[in-house]
Every structure is written in structure tokens, then in C-alpha cells.
């Protein structure tokens, strides 16, 4: 098996998303999308309308199904119901982002306050505090 085939058939194991640490899970998922050349489909940049002939449409449909599976399969059942009605990978991905990646002014102010109020414990090292 050559390197290209091995890269395309590689199996990546990602823990199922349980509702915690969405930013870390999202990073892992984006890495998988990038490796499988599906990032544009998952993010909604590449769309059905962009496809010309039937061969391109068939290729797009196959990639869309693969991206949709990558979004849905690593979800706990309790979170899977949120994307069951979605037809496209980008729609499911956006729904997860909207639910778990809160970008409200309240959250931004809370994080800013938490950041400026944080103090390093005396016994902590740089590497241990940078992960917090």
C-alpha cells in the first residue's frame, strides 16, 4: 500500500463529543476534515451549486456523505438528536457550533474578567499553567 492510499484509508479515533470542551473536539474534527480534504464541505465553503458536470456532482455527493458521517458518528446519542434533521455536513456542523460555541457579549465579558483576575499559583510551572 502506497503512502497516498495509506493516508486516505487512515483510521482516526476521536472520543465521542459529550457536551464538554467543544473547542478541543472541534480542533480534532477540523484536523480530520483537513486530512480527508473535506474542510470546505464541512464549513459550507464548497457547495452543490459550485459543481458542474455529473461526474463532479457525483464526487461532491460522495464527499458530502463522508463529511456528514465524520460530523455525526463521533457524537454521543444525547447530542446526535440535534443533527438528525440535517441533510448536509455544513448544516450539522453549524448547528453544533451555534449550540456549543457561545459567542455572546456576556460570555466574552465573563472570559475577559476571568482572564484578568487569574493569578498563577507559586508552585505552578509555565507548562502547567498554560494548559488552563
β-pair partners for 75? 17
Decide which of 117 and 89 is more confident: 89
Query: At 63, is the pLDDT very low, low, confident or very high (cuts 50, 70, 90)?
Result: very high
Query: Given a cut of 70, is residue 85 above it in pLDDT?
Result: yes
Using an 8 Å Cβ cutoff, are 66 and 36 in contact? yes
Q: Is 131 a residue whose pLDDT tops 90? A: no
Q: Are 33 and 39 in contact (CB under 8 A)?
A: yes
pLDDT at residue number 50: 64
Q: Does residue 32 or residue 124 have the better pLDDT?
A: 32
94: Cβ–Cβ under 8 A, 6 or more apart, which residues? Answer: 44
State pLDDT tens for residues 88-116: 999 999 999 988 887 767 767 777 888 88
* pLDDT tens column, 2-50: 333 334 556 677 889 998 888 889 999 999 999 999 999 999 998 877 6
Confidence at residue 89, expressed as pLDDT on a 0 to 100 scale:
95
**Could you give phi then psi for residue 6, rounded to 5 degrees?**
-60, -40
Q: In 10 A of CB 24, how many CB atoms?
A: 11
pTM metric for this prediction: 0.68
Amino acid at each position: 500500500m502506497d503512502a497516498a492510499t495509506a493516508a486516505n484509508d487512515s483510521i482516526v479515533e476521536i472520543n465521542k463529543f459529550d457536551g464538554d470542551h467543544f473547542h478541543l473536539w472541534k480542533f480534532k474534527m477540523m484536523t480530520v476534515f483537513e486530512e480527508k480534504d473535506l474542510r470546505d464541505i464541512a464549513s459550507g465553503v464548497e457547495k452543490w451549486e459550485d459543481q458542474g458536470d455529473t461526474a463532479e456532482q457525483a464526487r461532491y455527493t460522495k464527499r458530502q456523505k463522508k463529511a456528514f458521517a465524520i460530523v455525526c458518528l463521533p457524537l454521543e446519542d444525547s447530542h446526535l438528536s440535534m443533527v438528525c434533521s440535517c441533510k448536509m455536513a455544513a448544516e450539522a456542523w453549524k448547528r453544533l457550533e451555534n449550540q456549543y460555541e457561545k459567542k455572546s457579549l456576556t460570555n466574552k465579558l465573563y472570559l475577559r474578567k476571568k482572564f484578568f483576575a487569574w493569578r498563577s499559583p507559586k508552585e505552578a510551572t509555565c507548562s502547567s499553567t498554560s494548559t488552563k
